[in-house]
A = this chain, B = another copy of it.
């Protein structure tokens, strides 16, 4: 089984979030992990897959809201749900870790909340202190902040390492998914 990192963020994102997503996509792919996004050809979804496809042998999965949405040309396998925003729950359930580039979109906010609900670790990249505080209230343990894509990758490595050493029931999921 492959390790899947979800990269979430707004369809209409500022340059900073797009740059972060592109770098993240590349870093994730370099480690042999799968990049999962919302699959459309815009914003953070598109940028993360674009970054990943710079790496030979990378795999990108896009979980699309409908069959009519334009698929990012950097997506290898589009999963068609025809579920609109209902697909947001599938995005986070399928990801072992969710990394977030930008919280200006309501879709992304719903994904962070659904990830916490599903017990998935979330890493907010360059989020404002107020936004980090908002989500930490929901779950102190699951919500992490990173100042850069590099720090986000380090955090994922640490999460994996920590889970390797003391595998517990609730963390089984992450543990089982390690790319051995």
CB interface residues, A 76-109, toward B, < 8 Å? 76-86, 88-90, 93-94, 104-107, 109
Which residues of B lie under 8 Å from residue A180 when comparing CB positions?
A: none
- Asked if A116 is an interface residue, CB under 8 A from chain B, the answer is yes
Q: What separation, in Å, do the CA atoms of A67 and B73 have in the docked complex?
A: 28
Query: Which of B66, B71, B116 touches A1 (beta carbons < 8 Å)?
Result: B71
What secondary structure prevails in chain A residues at the interface with B?
Answer: mixed
- Asked if A159 is an interface residue, CB under 8 A from chain B, the answer is no
Q: Are B118's CB and A85's CB within 8 A?
A: yes
Size class of A's contact patch? 35 or more
Interface stretch among A15-23, A129-137, A150-158, A161-169? A129-137
Q: Are A90's CB and B86's CB within 8 A?
A: yes
Q: Are A109's CB and B109's CB within 8 A?
A: yes
Interface string of A102-146 (1 = CB under 8 A from B): 001111011001101110000000000011011001110000000
Query: Which of B1, B80, B116, B133 touches A76 (beta carbons < 8 Å)?
Result: B1
Which residues of B lie under 8 Å from residue A173 when comparing CB positions?
A: 67
